[in-house]
Structure 1
Amino acid sequence: MPPDRATWRYRPRRGFWRTKAFRAGALITLLALCGLVILALVREQTGTEGFLVGLGLAVLPVPLLGAAFRWLDRVDPGPWRNLFFALAWGACAAALVAIIANSFATRWIATATADPSSADHLGASVIAPIVEESAKAAAVLLLFLFRRRDFKGIVDGVVLAGITATGFAFTENILYLGNAFGEDQASHSGGLASTTAATFFVRVVMSPFAHPLFTVMTGIGFGFAALAPPGRKLRRVVLPLVGLVCAMGMHALWNSSTLFGAYGFYIVYGGFMVPVFGLLTWLAIWSRQRELRTVAAELPAYAAAGWLGPAEPFALSSMRARATARDFARHRFGGKAAARAVAEYEAFATALAFLRHGAYRSPGATGPGPDFAAREQELLHHLWERKPVAAPALLYAAGATGRMWPPPHPGPPHPYTQHAQYAPHQHPHPHPHPAPYGRPGPYNPYLG
């Protein structure tokens, strides 16, 4: 019996230890154990009441930071499972490693030097940045190694590193805010001048981006490594290490700001952290625009071959046009299901553009890889299935947003308007060129 084309996916053969079920089970078990241990440690230090207060206050910036990173990733959104893994790793595994390693190192330094005060300063300014940034970087490294298809460039590195750091900051804020609440309870103080309010203002209001900002440097290093040509293996090792060292240096500077005098914190915050935050924000947005330019440059080849309408590359390279297409489909073609079909079409088309760019246009590209044809076949198949809804929506969006297209060359009617009921790999088509997998279809053999 032939496979069900509606649910077909390209799945390369893998060993048992690399199967999705094995990996998912191992990761969930590991993260769950880390979560239980970190929960017990934090609750032991803060007390039950302090833990609940810290939890309630620490959760406030998480949705805002998560929404900001997800917005940045809207051009080619990565799978939710990667984001959940990054968040859980930061909140559970990285936080657990940091608490245990920082405590052990600080006690060892205090014993060796017989000076607890200097041990605390050294632990905060040297030990903590090295341990914490290394623990957070491990999540980005794992995704870079085992989810390589989802790790395409700088934006992916920024998003995954930022989400990991958001989870880490969440757990750390529970600890700091819970301890601050315990101090206030012990001293019977309260009001706006309380330790809890001051801690909340510094960590949640003034600098919720601090940990994400540090770890984003590591993510940028991995992002540049993902863009490196296949033959440049040294770059793939050196660039992430450079990013990690920058993250450690920024973290050390931030933790040492109180040692620079009464105004040291404000000098570092206003003179360094805010400008660097603005610079990295610009870099992330520029990288997102670069992704849209890649879509605009690669998809016209598929439009010329008949897989896409002539207006679609222009609409798909504009976030405004994409949103307009989804709204049009929602109101004209059946509500949320139609809008979801258009959103999936946009995601598959973007993945197709990046696949072609990586094979032919990226620096050092040597041509299609061994699984290029199968992956291209899969993406074109999913595009074709959603074309009856997505094509008119994108056509409308291109005109409504002013992203017009060149007039098509005279010729026979476009394949999906004349034979929309035929999937390109199932039935003959009026186009004479062979499809990429050997059957007749609207495919141009000169795409490569």
Structure 2
Amino acid sequence: MTFENTLAFAQEADNNDDLKDFRNAFYFPQHNESDAIYFCGNSLGLQPKNVEAAIQTELHTWRQLAVEGYFKGTHPWLCYHEYLRGSLAKIVGAKPTEVTVMNALTVNLHFMMLSFYKPTTQRYKIMMEAGAFPSDQYAVETQARHYGFDPADVIIEIAPRSGEKILHEEDIIEAIEAHKDSLALTIFGGINYYTGQLYNIPLITAAAQQAGAVAGWDLAHVTGNVPTQLHDWNVDFAVWCSYKYLNSGPGAAGGVFVHEKHSNADTSRLAGWWGNDEKSRFKMEKGFVPKQDASGWNLSTSQVFNMVALKASLELFDKAGMQNLRAKSIALTGYLEYLLLQLHTGAFEIITPSNEHRRGAQLCLYFKEKGKAIHEQLMQNGIIVDYREPGVIRIAPAPLYCSFEDVYKCVKIIGDVLGTS
């Protein structure tokens, strides 16, 4: 697509967009009695309009059937998480049996680390990117302490080169090789929340495993944003939230991928009744026998009312298709980058990689000064984006509900705020 810096071009691009009607499937915040421009799906996705009816369905089942809702009704609750696995498997590139839904992101990260981080006196180190999202840092730090280690000794942080903000993947690979005798686990964010950099998941996974380590991933900013092939890439485990690009509401249940090679009973885990083999679950006997798939990690009853919105949103993903969404996302983000560069201002630097294959639906603008104040001005003008210290405004045009006209208007207002238009 050859971009043009005109409203007419943006409107024509929207007219030719095969996914344009999905915009009407969402509610937008209002600004001056019109839809705000919402570029914050990397933090919280919009509410799909089909969620309300989906919740009413389960409220009706509860009201009419009470406990029998586990076995009867429109969607019997006993296996509610299983309704989500097929759609999620297509999004992350997995077999349905390799995916489950439970808990929340950081809880699941802890559970996966308890299963896959098995330190020894020789092999005990964990590698991650410097400046990872704080909850990941806290999880890794406390896991190290849980085993009696000093986090400063355990954790290997890979930082950008001096004067840069983006990691070089060859630096990651070289670090893995350098620590191959002591490395137990790598746990990178698939997309860095601060820079928007998409890491080469198969490359890093292969390097970690060749070094004798387990390769785990936090895909909070990837799932529903960029298609992956977790099974074919041989990823050991991955976790993600569903309230960002998956549009399932604040605090919604998180997702887990466990490669089928680990699904046997020999893989250690914390156990709960909901992860027990269904053939013996209701015998109420001692002795945990895990299901032979990812749901063998489920501990507790499916959080039905915390999964309803995810189920509703996934219906839209099934209709749109992840590859189609990715193609539109590349075009939207490319248009955003093109227009931002047309401002010809030194007020900010786009720190997200310019290579479309090394980013998702997010561009990060680094302001050396007044970043927070500029963010507030954008919000006052109906542009909903977010700010992360130090100095970064994150702009994320999610392809399910954002348009080219949104992008054009956003950059026009940025120019007005900066005094460049």
When you count helix as a share of all residues, which structure comes out higher? 1
- Band of TM-score, shorter chain: under 0.3
When you count strand as a share of all residues, which structure comes out higher? 2
Scaled by the length of structure 2, what TM-score is found? 0.24
Rg larger in structure: 1
Scaled by the length of structure 1, what TM-score is found? 0.23
